[in-house]
């Protein structure tokens, strides 16, 4: 059960309140010394913060996956706590006899965690991912809450001047989201050299909402969009007039290839480019089977033996330092190697690696654990520990193409030389 850390979801939707404190701090009865005040963290409105995020957040991504696992329509799995996710939460609450506000409260969390082990694991993986990226957690991102996760929370709380309880209370979780947004997501974009304007979300002008298409929308315009994306070699999912997670992933891949803002929202600029695409394709015109990974644009080209090309959204090594989960490795750098490789081994299933779960990975180097694999969070910027992430359904597509051992993988782009402590793994 998630009872020890269920506030992680609660704080998505309520105002966090700091504990009362004395200006002078507390006096230790045994030593007579004054202890530092650990309850002075500035309160953050978790609901408002998440709804205003400029970048997709993996915590929201995993929550959306959890709701989708239970059959609720979250629009697209895009990492933003928008109207579709709010509606899905409200539907879940209504189905479980709760007050259908669309905001998460303790009762909703308990109802969610009781649904299935898979849902529970998704929620815990979100927190472990953030703690690992921030450098507080160095164990397996396995969705299992244990002493390592609790110790990581304590370390984070101490760094934020929060009472170090080891629990994700209503003060701690919004601050974790804020720290991750500032110290990881924004830095990922900066480290990649990407223009911040390309990696943030489109601001839709008031009164012009009808000119924009996004996750959760439906109708004839969406069907037209899906047909055009499929015609251009993207994977929008079923041509059914519903802007699904598959459609959002295809739009994001299109935006990346065309050098447009990367947020899976279709506005006038995207519509114009759909009519007249200009983005370059693979590096070579020769047939495959082959995978090309363009680090600059964060896209993956799948080229078949007959030369057909499919463009897929990917996210590669962030360039950030992180604490390796492997004994003795210490601090390593998330780096995706450049060169011409071949697929050396594949796993048709899940691989529980130290830093997270790899879905149907295809390993393309003999050292370092670099692979193409499925993952729930494939944002518009480099975010991995060195692997090339794709959405799970895109990974299924690569398998369905028959890609496998001995097929070529070309990785290119403006990537700094590999540091001595470069690593992959997730």
Q: Where are the domains of the chain?
A: 7-191, 207-275, 290-423
- pLDDT of 423: 58
Q: Are strands 331-334 and 422-423 parallel, antiparallel or unpaired?
A: parallel
> Does residue 226 come out as left (phi exceeding 0), alpha (psi in the -120 to 50 range) or beta?
alpha
Residues 6 or more apart in contact with residue 411 via CB below 8 angstroms: 292, 293, 295, 336, 337, 338, 339, 341, 388
Return d(Cα 310, Cα 397) in angstroms, integer: 10
* CA 281 from centroid of its chain's CA atoms: 25
- pLDDT of 53: 64
Which parts of the chain have pLDDT scores under 70? 1-55, 104-106, 109, 170, 186-200, 322-329, 354-355, 368, 415-426
- Phi, psi (degrees; rounded to nearest 5) at 220: -65, -35
Return d(Cα 110, Cα 410) in angstroms, integer: 46
CB 283 within 8 A of CB 277: no
Q: Are strands 331-334 and 321-323 parallel, antiparallel or unpaired?
A: antiparallel
The alpha carbon torsion through 130, 262, 413, 317 (nearest 10 deg) reads 10
Three-state SS for 99?
coil
Say which DSSP state 36 is in.
P
Domain made up of 290-423: CATH architecture: Beta Barrel (2.40)
- The overall pTM is greater than 0.75: no
- pLDDT of 166: 87
CB 172 within 8 A of CB 147: no
- pLDDT of 199: 66
The CATH H-level (homologous superfamily) assignment of domain 207-275 is PGBD-like superfamily/PGBD (1.10.101.10)
Give the sign of the dihedral formed by CA 190, CA 192, CA 194, CA 198: negative
Report the side by side order of strands in the sheet with 299-303: 309-313, 299-303, 290-294, 408-412, 339-342
Where helices occur in 56-200 by DSSP H, the ranges are 58-69, 83-95, 106-113, 117-133, 147-159, 172-180, 186-191, 196-199
* CA 349 from centroid of its chain's CA atoms: 20
- pLDDT of 230: 98
Q: Where does residue 307 rank: exposed (0-12), middle (13-18), buried (19+ CB within 10 A)?
A: exposed
């Amino acid at each position: 059960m998630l009872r020890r850390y269920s506030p992680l979801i609660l704080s998505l939707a309520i105002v966090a309140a700091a504990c009362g404190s004395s200006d002078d701090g507390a006096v230790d009865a045994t030593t007579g010394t004054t202890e530092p005040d650990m309850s002075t963290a500035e309160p953050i409105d978790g609901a408002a913060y998440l709804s205003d995020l400029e970048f997709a957040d993996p915590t929201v991504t995993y929550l959306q996956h959890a709701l989708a696992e239970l059959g609720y329509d979250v629009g697209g799995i895009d990492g933003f706590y928008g109207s579709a996710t709010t509606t899905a939460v409200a539907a879940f609450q209504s189905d479980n006899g709760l007050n259908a506000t669309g905001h998460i409260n303790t009762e909703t969390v308990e109802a969610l965690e009781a649904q299935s082990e898979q849902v529970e694991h998704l929620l815990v993986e979100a927190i472990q991912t953030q703690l690992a990226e921030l450098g507080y957690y160095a164990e397996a991102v396995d969705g299992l809450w244990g002493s390592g996760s609790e110790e990581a929370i304590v370390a984070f709380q101490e760094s934020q001047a929060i009472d170090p309880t080891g629990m994700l209370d209503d003060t701690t979780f919004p601050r974790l989201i804020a720290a991750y947004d500032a110290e990881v997501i924004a830095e990922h974009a900066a480290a990649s050299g990407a223009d911040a304007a390309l990696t943030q979300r489109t601001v839709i002008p008031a009164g012009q909402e009808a000119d924009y298409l996004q996750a959760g929308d439906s109708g004839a315009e969406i069907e037209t969009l899906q047909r055009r994306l499929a015609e251009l070699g993207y994977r929008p999912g079923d041509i059914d007039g519903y802007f699904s997670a598959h459609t959002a992933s295809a739009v994001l891949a299109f935006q990346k290839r065309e050098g447009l803002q990367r947020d899976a929202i279709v506005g006038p600029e995207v519509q114009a480019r759909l009519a007249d695409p200009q983005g370059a394709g693979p590096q070579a015109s020769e047939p495959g089977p082959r995978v090309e990974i363009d680090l600059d644009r964060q896209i993956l080209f799948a080229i078949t033996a007959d030369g057909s090309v499919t463009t897929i959204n990917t996210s590669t090594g962030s360039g950030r330092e992180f604490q390796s989960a492997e004994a003795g490795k210490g601090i390593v750098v998330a780096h995706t190697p450049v060169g011409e490789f071949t697929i050396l081994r594949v796993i048709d299933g899940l691989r529980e690696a130290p830093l997270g779960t790899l879905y149907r990975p295809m390993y393309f180097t003999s050292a370092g654990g670099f692979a193409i694999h499925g993952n729930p969070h494939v944002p518009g910027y480099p975010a991995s520990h060195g692997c090339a992430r794709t959405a799970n359904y895109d990974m299924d597509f690569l398998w369905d193409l028959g890609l496998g051992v001995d097929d070529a993988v070309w990785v290119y782009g403006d990537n700094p030389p590999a540091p001595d402590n470069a690593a992959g793994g997730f």
